[in-house]
Chain A
Amino acid sequence: MIWQIELIILVMVVLFGIGALTTKDLLSAAILFGAYSFMLCLLWAIMGAVDVAFTEASVGAGISTVLFVSAVYRTTRSTDN
């Protein structure tokens, strides 16, 4: 394991997580959550869990982003907090 790369990805995971929770626009929160899932997928590929990385790439970054966006489309986009 190259710990420098993993450290960078871990920091980006935390940053994307904070961004998804704090942004006021729910659509961008959904997209940021997709980016968060993709960073986790990279992290698991580095740690040797290829099956989990594959699942996360197809499920977390693919389908769940679509579900979030369609739910935002059906409800409202802006929020107060």
Chain B
Amino acid sequence: MHEVLPFIISKINYFIYIILMMLGMYGIFMKKNYMKKIIGLNILQTSIILFFISIGAKNNATLPILELQNDHDANVAIQAVNYINPLPHVLMLTAIVVAVATLGVALAMVIKIYKDYKTIEEDKILFQTAEDTIENE
């Protein structure tokens, strides 16, 4: 027990990211409503962001903004150990903004579907399209 708890604490971010990812995939698979599917997609995407930020974290390190050096200690070299890894932050920062743009496109599609079918439930739309093909035959 004394070994299990520190182990879980040191890996808790990764476990939560897996739980969030499964939650998002559950939303995409199981929910019939398109709005819920989009929320599931967003949760899946934020879980990936959580994973990326977690692998960049460092103990005993500060934010990735360098301290401006004065003249008297200009020869002190910048140690990479003292700063959090900035590379995952850059990748995820752009990913979030792209996510909201694609969210807009997804919601536009949902509004368009609602205009045509008067519902956003997937099973009802499938039923309506099946009826249309029967009538055409």
A–B direct touch in complex (beta carbons closer than 8 A): yes
State the A residues within 8 Å of B (CB). 1, 3, 6-7, 10, 13-14, 17-18, 20-21, 26, 29, 33, 36-37, 40, 43-44, 47-52, 55-56, 59-60, 63-64, 67-68, 70-72, 74-76, 79-81
Category for how many chain B residues contact A: 35 or more
Judge whether A75 and B35 touch: CB under 8 Å: yes
Name 17 A/B residue pairs within 8 A (Cβ), A-sorted. A3-B12, A10-B16, A17-B23, A20-B39, A21-B40, A40-B50, A47-B57, A48-B61, A49-B92, A51-B89, A52-B93, A52-B96, A59-B99, A64-B103, A75-B110, A79-B35, A81-B31
* Chain B residues engaging chain A, CB cutoff 8 angstroms: 9, 12-13, 16, 19-20, 23-24, 26-27, 30-33, 35-36, 39-40, 42-43, 46, 49-50, 53-54, 56-57, 59, 61-65, 84, 88-89, 92-93, 96-97, 99-100, 103-104, 107, 110-111, 114, 119-121
Closest partner residue, chain A, to B111 (CB atom): A74
Q: Is the CB of B84 within 8 A of A49?
A: yes
A55 to chain B, nearest CB (A): 5
**How many pairs, one residue from A and one from B, have CB atoms within 8 Å of each other in the complex?**
122
In the complex, the answer to whether B100 meets A59 with C-beta atoms within 8 Å is: yes
Other-chain contact of A75, B31, B93, B100, B111 (Cβ < 8 Å): B111
Known contacts A10-B16, A43-B50, A47-B53; decide if A60 and B39 are in contact (CB<8 Å). Answer: no
Residues of A within 8 A of B56 (CB): 49
Residues of B within 8 A of A59 (CB): 96-97, 99-100
Q: Is the CB of A26 within 8 A of B33?
A: yes
Q: In the complex where A49-B56, A52-B49, A75-B120 touch, is A68 in contact with B107 (Cβ < 8 A)?
A: yes
